[in-house]
């Protein structure tokens, strides 16, 4: 048994006062934009009608149902359950606003942990001006809460990687379990992130650490898998014959355009004007550039197998490792792998399942990738580039984001809001709504 002493905990980085002021400014900007676009009320689509109807039936009968009386199965159950808890469209608007605010705070915190202080200053402002977040906050859609859940999962996972404490492991597993119960995309995110965790840690883990990691990933995905099995058995299949490689190429090109659109001032017309192969190349090139650079694992001393969590572990020790320090780069790899896997699997879903395609649907589904992509862009920003050039490009990025956010908020405000009675009462047993995804 090794008797090497455990390293002392590194001093926690205290956020500079300027970071706090910038984050407060980002909060004010985000709440102002949300208040402006959602002031007339939340809007809806056929998806929204199904969410609202399921929420009403849950309140009235204790069951999640579709308007035709069949069990609710098109999407996971957590969002209509949250809507049922709010009880009204006004409550749903509070839910959307609170989810946006929480997302900004948790991703800003992650930025302080993973970025230099100078780059961390930009993250709250770029997120507050993010048009994908504004888009999903206007509609009765599940994405807004999904943004928050992914951020909370990443934050809890980082704390687990750092501290090796059981409470953080439990919290990361709880948030992970909620992801696929809120959106099917949560399973895709967990698949990519889980592969990154396994590949990044497996050969360095002691037996207990491997079991903990497998238990975490298994419990996180179990509820989502069971729900998908339930949905498959609750009615006609949602899957159809393949639409072919042409649909896959089109969907991949949509994601290349949308993610490029977040970073560059590209007009929507550019998607159709340029060939699909170019946008697929943009997608592959961006993910290639954003891959976190691997660094060698740093040995910080062998941990005694019987150490207790009451002692001070290494600042970034993974549970039951032999003293490995790699939490920040590892979490960035998890974010990258989760994002890349989600893009590939959602694009494939448009080929085989009832899932919408096109630029607007893509930006909706990709909204959960906005914060990870921005964080990874700031991480990959060339440190050796001329300072004046970096400042100029970042200023242009901020100004372009601000102009686009104001334009999108104005357009969203003009979208017709749902009437209060769209959250149907007990007397409206049948409501005619669509059944397809937007």
Q: Report residue 184 as tokens.
A: 């099917």
Least confident of 33-47, 93-107, 298-312, 392-406: 298-312
> Is residue 433 in some structural domain?
no
- The answer, yes or no, to whether residue 5 has pLDDT greater than 50, is no
Q: What is the pLDDT of residue 429?
A: 43
Q: What is the pLDDT of residue 296?
A: 43
Least confident of 243-257, 293-307, 330-344: 293-307
> Is residue 246 in some structural domain?
yes
- The answer, yes or no, to whether residue 176 has pLDDT greater than 70, is yes
Between 350 and 32, the more confident residue is: 32
Q: Which residue carries 């809007």 as its tokens? A: 43
Q: Ramachandran region of residue 237, left (φ > 0), alpha (ψ -120 to 50) or beta?
A: beta
Q: What is the pLDDT of residue 157?
A: 94
Q: Cβ distance 186 to 149 under 8 Å? A: yes
Q: What is the mean pLDDT of residues 325-335?
A: 84
Q: How confident is the model at residue 351 (pLDDT cuts 50, 70, 90)?
A: confident
Q: Cβ distance 88 to 154 under 8 Å? A: no
Q: Which residue carries 């199965």 as its tokens? A: 73
Q: What is the mean pLDDT of residues 24-29?
A: 94
Spacing of C-alpha 388 from chain mean position: 32
∠126-127-133 over CA atoms, to 5°?
Answer: 135
The mean of the pLDDT values for the chain is 83
> Is residue 438 in some structural domain?
no
Between 109 and 268, the more confident residue is: 109
| Total domains in the fold of the chain | 1
Q: Please give the Cα distance from 435 to 376 (Å, whole number).
A: 36
Q: Cβ distance 113 to 87 under 8 Å? A: no
The structure's pTM equals 0.87
Nearest alpha-carbon partner for 127 in 350, 401, 319:
401
Between 250 and 182, the more confident residue is: 182
Highest mean pLDDT among 113-122, 208-217, 361-370: 361-370
Q: Please give the Cα distance from 389 to 312 (Å, whole number).
A: 43
Q: How confident is the model at residue 436 (pLDDT cuts 50, 70, 90)?
A: very low
Share of the chain above pLDDT 90, in %: 55
Q: How confident is the model at residue 319 (pLDDT cuts 50, 70, 90)?
A: low
Q: What is the pLDDT of residue 342?
A: 95
Task: Compute the Cα dihedral for 189, 91, 227, 174 and give only its sign.
Answer: positive
> Is residue 108 in some structural domain?
yes
- The answer, yes or no, to whether residue 198 has pLDDT greater than 60, is yes
Secondary element (H or E) of residue 298: strand 298-299
Q: Report residue 167 as tokens.
A: 């409470």
Using CB atoms within 10 A of its CB, is residue 333 exposed (0-12), middle (13-18) or buried (19+)?
buried
- The answer, yes or no, to whether residue 42 has pLDDT greater than 60, is yes
- The answer, yes or no, to whether residue 240 has pLDDT greater than 80, is no
Q: What is the pLDDT of residue 312?
A: 36
The SS3 call for residue 325 is strand
- The answer, yes or no, to whether residue 243 has pLDDT greater than 80, is no
Q: What is the residue-wise DSSP string for 228-297?
A: HHHHHHSSS-SB-S---HHHHHHHHHHHHHHHHHHHS---TTHHHHS-HHHHHHHHHHHHHHHSPPP---
Q: How confident is the model at residue 323 (pLDDT cuts 50, 70, 90)?
A: very low
Could you list the residue range(s) of the whole structural domain that residue 106 is in? 17-295+314-422
> Is residue 8 in some structural domain?
no
> Is residue 91 in some structural domain?
yes
**What are 58-79's pLDDT values in tens digits?**
999 999 998 888 899 889 999 9
Q: How confident is the model at residue 139 (pLDDT cuts 50, 70, 90)?
A: very high
Distances (CA, A) of 371 to 39, 113, 180, 294, 317: 25, 14, 19, 21, 26
Q: What is the pLDDT of residue 425?
A: 55
Q: How confident is the model at residue 104 (pLDDT cuts 50, 70, 90)?
A: very high
Q: What is the mean pLDDT of residues 184-191?
A: 95
Between 204 and 312, the more confident residue is: 204
Count CB atoms within 10 A of the CB of residue 18: 12
Between 163 and 181, the more confident residue is: 181
> Is residue 25 in some structural domain?
yes
Q: What is the pLDDT of residue 222?
A: 95
Q: What is the pLDDT of residue 232?
A: 82
> Is residue 7 in some structural domain?
no
């Amino acid at each position: 048994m090794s008797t090497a002493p455990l390293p002392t905990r590194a001093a926690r980085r205290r956020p500079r006062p300027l970071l706090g002021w910038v984050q407060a400014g980002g909060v004010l900007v985000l709440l102002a934009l949300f208040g402006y676009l959602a002031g007339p009320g939340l809007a809806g689509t056929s998806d929204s009608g199904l969410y609202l109807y399921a929420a009403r039936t849950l309140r009235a009968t204790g069951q999640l149902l579709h308007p035709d009386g069949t069990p609710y199965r098109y999407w996971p159950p957590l969002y209509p359950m949250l809507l049922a808890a709010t009880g009204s469209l006004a409550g749903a608007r509070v839910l959307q606003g609170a989810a946006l605010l929480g997302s900004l705070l948790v991703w800003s915190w992650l930025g302080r942990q993973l970025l230099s202080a100078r780059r961390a200053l930009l993250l709250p402002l770029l997120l507050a001006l993010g048009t994908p977040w504004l888009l999903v906050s206007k509609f009765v859609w599940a994405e807004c809460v999904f943004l928050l859940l992914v951020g909370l999962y990443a934050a809890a996972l980082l704390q687990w990687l750092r501290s090796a404490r059981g409470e953080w492991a439990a919290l990361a597993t709880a948030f992970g379990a909620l992801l696929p119960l809120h959106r099917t995309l949560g399973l895709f995110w967990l698949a990519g992130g889980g592969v990154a965790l396994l590949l990044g840690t497996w050969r360095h883990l002691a037996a207990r650490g491997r079991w903990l990691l497998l238990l975490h990933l298994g419990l996180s995905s179990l509820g989502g898998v069971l729900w998908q099995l339930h949905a498959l058995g609750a009615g006609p299949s949602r899957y159809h014959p393949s639409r072919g490689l042409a649909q896959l190429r089109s969907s991949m090109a949509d994601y290349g355009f949308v993610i490029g659109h977040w970073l560059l001032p590209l007009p929507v017309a550019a998607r159709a004007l340029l060939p699909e192969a170019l946008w697929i190349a943009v997608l592959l090139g961006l993910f290639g550039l954003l891959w976190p650079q691997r660094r060698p694992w740093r040995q910080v001393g062998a941990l005694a197998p019987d150490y207790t969590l009451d002692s001070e572990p290494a600042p970034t020790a993974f549970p039951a490792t032999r003293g490995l320090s790699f939490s920040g780069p590892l979490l960035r790899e998890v974010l990258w792998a989760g994002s890349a896997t989600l893009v590939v699997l959602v694009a494939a879903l448009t080929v085989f399942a009832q899932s919408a395609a096109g630029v607007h649907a893509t930006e909706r589904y990709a909204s959960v990738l906005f914060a990870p992509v921005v964080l990874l862009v700031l991480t990959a920003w060339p440190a050796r580039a001329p300072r004046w050039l970096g400042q100029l490009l970042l200023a242009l990025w901020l100004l372009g984001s601000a102009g686009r956010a104001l334009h999108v908020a104005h357009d969203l405000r003009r979208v017709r809001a749902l009437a209060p009675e769209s959250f149907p009462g007990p007397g409206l047993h049948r409501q005619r709504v669509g059944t397809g995804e937007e």
